[in-house]
Amino acid sequence: MIKRVKNFNLKKLNTFRMDVSAGEFIEYDSVADLLDIDFDTLPKPVISLGKGSNLLFTKDFPGTVLHSDIDFIYELPEDSRLYEGMPDGTVLVSAGAGVEMDRLCGWAADKGLWGIENLSHIPGDAGAAAVQNIGAYGTEFADVAVNINCYDIEEEEFTHFTAEECGYAYRDSVFKHPGFKGRYIVTNVIIALSENKGPVLGYGQVKEAVGQASMGRPVTPGIVRKVITEIRKAKLPEPSVTGSAGSFFKNPVISIEQFNAIRKKSCCEVPHYILEDVVKIPAAWLIDQCGWKGRTHGNAGVHSGQPLVLINATGKARPEELIELKDLIIASVNERFGIQLIPEVEII
């Protein structure tokens, strides 16, 4: 079924809770509904929104916001050709773009399937997860992606992208790039889960907490999911209480020379991850060092548990306040460390 509303208020459809509206809003709950929408006649631009958990609206949006409510999860039958070449114990799962990612993680954990337990409690829907290549604690959506099924609004036909064709990188995919963005609407994702893969425990904090939680019992996806959920709840703002869009900036990648220069000037150990010939530094540390943790700017603020997260501190923040805060943080990190932070959140 298709629901259409003109001048739709988006406050409930963006997790920063910006009080903005869309020229037109269209919600649909089946793949076939897309064939009944005349995309040529819609106010432009056209964007797809899941839970709106990774964007910041800066003003009213003149175009059309599409919202998928396609909400199925099922295992692909064993005779699907997609099983060819997959390791033993693989279970292929199809999930509608409108399925809440955390519901999908819970569904997998309940069935004892490995692969997405580390993505538990990330806000947003499966369709957006495939576009944004969400990631946490050593797992990215790309690690399980097999096929991303889409509707091509230019050719008016259904199509799919293999994981390779999605061009996945750190919080990036082709779907965010010109020529693809706004053209392909994700209808459902096919992911490969596993009955026997085991946990991803590369993060020390996760390994320790899973060890404690399992108390000598075999580790299950359910135990890891519970641990990850607790860690995220302790560190990140509770979405039902405080508006935010998760990490606001990407973790910057710098040269080894620049890293050594920062290390030399720094009073304490600089956290970092070495990636071949470059170094990734946590943006949270840079922002923390610049004294932003827990500070506010008007109604906007920097979360006290994780300074990478900007928040709608009072619930009344205007887009300009968040933009000003973002610019102030970028300027101060740049001045102190010579590093240009890049937003991870899409600014519309």
What is the set of active-site residues?
171, 247, 344
Nearer to ligand EPU, 15 or 68 (CB): 15
Q: Rule CB under 6 A: which of 74-93 touch ligand EPU? A: none
CB of 247 to ligand EPU, least distance (A): 3
Binding of ligand EPU by 69 (CB under 6 A): no
Size of interface with ligand EPU, in residues (CB under 6 A): 16
Q: Is 50 in the site for ligand EPU (CB under 6 A)?
A: no
Phi–psi pair at 133, nearest 5 degrees: 50, 60
Query: Which residue's Cβ lies closest to ligand EPU?
Result: 246
Residues 6+ apart with CB under 8 A from 342: 249, 250, 252
Pairing of strands 61-68, 46-49: parallel
Taking CB under 6 A as the criterion, which residues in 107-136 touch ligand EPU? 136
Min. distance of Cβ 272 from ligand EPU in angstroms? 9
Give the DSSP letter of residue 334. H
Task: Find out whether 120 and 210 touch, Cβ atoms under 8 Å.
Answer: no
Tell whether residue 103 is a contact of ligand EPU (CB under 6 A). Answer: no
Q: DSSP labels for 17-38? A: ----EEEEEEEE-SGGGGGG--
What would the DSSP string read from start to end of 50-119?
Answer: SS-TTEE--S-EEEEEEEE----EEEPPTT-GGGTTPPTTEEEEEEETTSBHHHHHHHHHHTT-BSSGGG
Q: What is the DSSP string of 301-316?
A: EE-SS-TTEEEESSS-
Backbone angles phi, psi at 317, to 5 degrees: -60, 140
Mark 135-174 with x for binding to ligand EPU (rule: CB under 6 A) and - for no binding: -xx-------------------------------------
Nearer to ligand EPU, 3 or 233 (CB): 233
DSSP 8-state secondary structure symbol assigned to residue 39: G
Instruction: Tell me: does residue 251 bind ligand EPU (CB under 6 A).
Output: yes
Binding residues for ligand EPU restricted to 252-291, rule: CB under 6 A: 271, 282, 284-285, 288
Q: Which residues bind ligand EPU (CB under 6 A)?
A: 136-137, 246-247, 250-251, 271, 282, 284-285, 288, 293, 306-308, 344
